[in-house]
Structure 1
Amino acid sequence: MRMIRLRLILLAGSAALALPAVAQEAPIVVDPAAPAVRDVIPPPSDPAIMQAPEPAPAAPPAIVIPAQALTPAIPAVWAPTPTNAEGRSAYGLYLSGRLAALRGDRETSAEFLAQSQALTPEQPRLTSEAFLAALLAGDLDNVTRLSASGEDLPLGEAGSLAVAVEALRQGDGAKARATLATPLAGPFDRPVRYLTPVVDAAAGDWDAALAPVIDTPAELATALILRDQRARLLELRRQYDAADAEFQTLLATPQARRLFGVHYGAFLERRGRKEDARNAYLASLSGQSPDPRALVEMNRMNHRGRAPAQPTVAQIGADALSFAALEATEQGGNELAVIYLQLSLALQSDDSVTLRLAQALVRAEQKHLARDTFAQVGPTNPIQYAAAQVGLADILAEDEDKAGALEALQRADVAAPEQPTVARRLAAGLIDVERYEEALAVLNRPNVNVAGQSPEFHFLRGFALSSLNRLDEAEAELWTALQQAPDNPALLNQLGYLWVDTGRRVDQGAEMLARAHAADPENGNIQDSLGWAQYRLGQYETAVDTLEQAVAKQPSNAEIVDHLGDAYWQVGRKREANWQWTRVLTLAPDAERRTSVERKIASGGPASMPVADATPSTAPVTGSEP
Structure 2
Amino acid sequence: MRRDFLFGLVCAALVANSASAALANTDATEATKQASMTSPVGNYLAGRTAADLRDLTSASVYLRAALRADPKDQELLDRTFRTVLAAGDVEQAMSLAERVGSTDPNNRLARLALAIKAIKGKQFVAARTQLGQSPKGPIPDVVATLVSAWAWQGSGDVSRALKTADTLSGNELAEMFRDLHAGLIAGTTNNKAEAERRLASAYKLNDSSFVVVDAYARALANDGKTKEAIEVYKTLAQRMTRNERLANSIAALEKGEKLPPAAQNARDGVTEALFGFGQLANRGESAEIGLIYLNLALYLEPDHEFALLTLADLLETIGQHDEAIAAYERIPQNSAFKDDIGIRIAANLAMADRTSDAEAKLRDIVSKNPKDVDAIVALANILHRQKSYVEAAKIFTQAIDASGEPKKSDWSLYFARGVAYDAAKDWKNAEPDLIQAAKLDPEQPVVLNYLGYSWVDRSVSPEKGLDLIRKAVELRPNDGDIVDSLGWAYYKLARYDDATEELERAVELKPQSWEINDHLGDVYWKTDRKLEAKFQWLHALTLEIDDDKRGPIERKITEGLEPVEREMEARKAAERAQPSQQDAPRPKTDDRAEATPGKPAEAN
* TM-score tier (shorter): 0.5 to 0.7
- The answer on whether the counterparts of 1:462 and 1:477 sit within 8 Å (CA) in structure 2 is yes
Identify the residue that residue 311 of structure 1 maps to in structure 2. Answer: 264
Q: How far did 1:292 drift?
A: 4.1
Per-residue Cα deviation, 1:21-48 (whole angstroms, up to 9, x for no partner): xxxxxxxxxxxxxxxxxxxxxxxxxxxx
Aligned positions of 1:287-326 closer than 5 A:
287=239, 291-299=243-251, 307-308=259-260, 311-326=264-279
Give the TM-score of the pair, scaled to structure 1.
0.64
Paired amino acid for 2:311 = L
Find the counterpart in structure 1 of residue 307 from structure 2. Answer: 353
2:159 is aligned with 1:207 = yes
Contact 1:527 1:550 in 2 (8 A): no
Structure 2, unaligned runs of 5 or more: 14-31, 497-520, 526-532, 572-579, 586-604
Match of 1:380 in 2: 334
Q: Alpha carbons of 1:228 and 1:478: their partners in 2 closer, same or farther (altered >3 Å)?
A: same
CA RMSD in angstroms comes to: 5.1
The aligned residue for residue 523 of structure 2 is 542
Residue 409 of structure 2 aligns to a residue whose secondary structure is coil
Is 1:117 matched with 2:67?
yes
2:398 counterpart of 1:438 = no
C-alpha distance 290-232 of structure 1, shift in aligned 2 (>3 A): farther
- Tell me the amino acid that sits aligned with residue 360 of structure 1: L
Would the alpha carbon gap of residues 428 and 290 (structure 1) be closer, same or farther in structure 2, given more than 3 Å must change?
Answer: closer
- The 3-state SS of whatever aligns with 2:72 is coil
Whole-angstrom CA distance in 2 between matches of 1:217 and 1:476: 57
Does the CA-based 8 Å contact 2:381-2:392 persist in structure 1? no
Structure 1 residue 202: Cα displacement: 2.2
Residues 331, 375 of structure 1: alpha-carbon distance in 2 compared, 3 angstrom cutoff: closer
In structure 2, relative to structure 1, the CA distance for the partners of 1:534 and 1:239 (3 Å cut) is closer
* 1:126-137 to 2 correspondences below 5 Å: 126-137=76-87
Report the Cα distance in structure 1 between the residues aligned to 2:113 and 2:181, rounded to whole angstroms.
20
C-alpha change, 1:217 and 1:146, in structure 2 (3 Å) is closer
TM-score by length of 2: 0.66
Partner of 1:555: 545
The CA distance in 1 between the partners of 2:215 and 2:245, in whole Å, is 10
Q: Judge conservation of contact 2:158–2:186 (CA < 8 Å) in 1.
A: no
> What is the CA-CA distance between 1:110 and the residue it aligns to?
1.6
- Give, in whole Å, the separation in 2 of the partners of 1:469 and 1:101: 44
Q: Which amino acid aligns with 2:80?
A: A
Instruction: Report the counterpart of residue 88 of structure 2 in structure 1.
Output: 138
Change (3 A) 1:351 1:454: same
How far apart, CA to CA, are the structure 2 residues paired with 1:408 and 1:444? 21
Taking the TM superposition and a 5 Å limit, the aligned residue runs for 1:563-578 are 571=561
Equivalent residue letter for 1:542 = V
Question: What residue identity is the alignment partner of 1:556?
Answer: D
What is the CA-CA distance between 1:196 and the residue it aligns to? 2.5
* Residue 429 (structure 1) aligns with: 382
Find the residue that maps to 1:504 and give its secondary structure. coil
Query: Where does 1:324-403 land on structure 2 (aligned, <5 Å)?
Result: 324-328=277-281, 333-349=286-302, 350-363=304-317, 369-383=323-337, 385=338, 388-389=341-342, 391-393=344-346, 395-403=348-356
CA separation of 1:352 and 1:592: change in aligned 2, threshold 3 A: closer
Asked if 2 retains the 8 angstrom alpha-carbon contact of 1:409 and 1:422, the reply is: yes
**3-state SS of 1:164 partner:** helix
Contact in 1 for aligned 2:94/2:114 (Cα 8 Å):
yes
Q: What does residue 105 of structure 1 align with?
A: 55
1:239 and 2:191 equivalent? yes
Aligned length: 509
SS at match of 2:460: coil
CA-to-aligned-CA distance 1:215-258 (integer Å, 9 cap, x gap): 99953433332333233323322434543454455545671785
1:163, distance to aligned residue in structure 2 (A): 1.2
Are residues 286 and 531 of structure 1, via their aligned partners in 2, closer, same or farther at CA, if it must alter by over 3 Å? closer
After superposition, the Cα gap between the structure-2 partners of 1:276 and 1:379, relative to the gap in structure 1 and judged at 3 Å, is farther
Q: Flag the structure with more relative contact order, 1 or 2, with Cα contacts below 8 A and sequence separation at least 6.
A: 1
SS of the residue corresponding to residue 149 of structure 1 reads helix
Residue type at the aligned position of 2:148: T
Alignment-derived partner of residue 165 in structure 1 = 116
Give, in angstroms, the shift of residue 211 of structure 1: 3.5
Amino acid at match of 2:112: L
- Cα separation, 2, equivalents of 1:240 and 1:340: 30
Cα distance in 1 for partners of 2:311, 2:139 equals 19
Distance 1:96 1:280, change over 3 A: same
1:189 counterpart = 2:141 = yes
Q: Distance in 2 between matches of 1:342 and 1:417?
A: 36
Question: Cα distance, 1:195 vs. partner?
Answer: 2.1
1:339 positional shift: 1.8
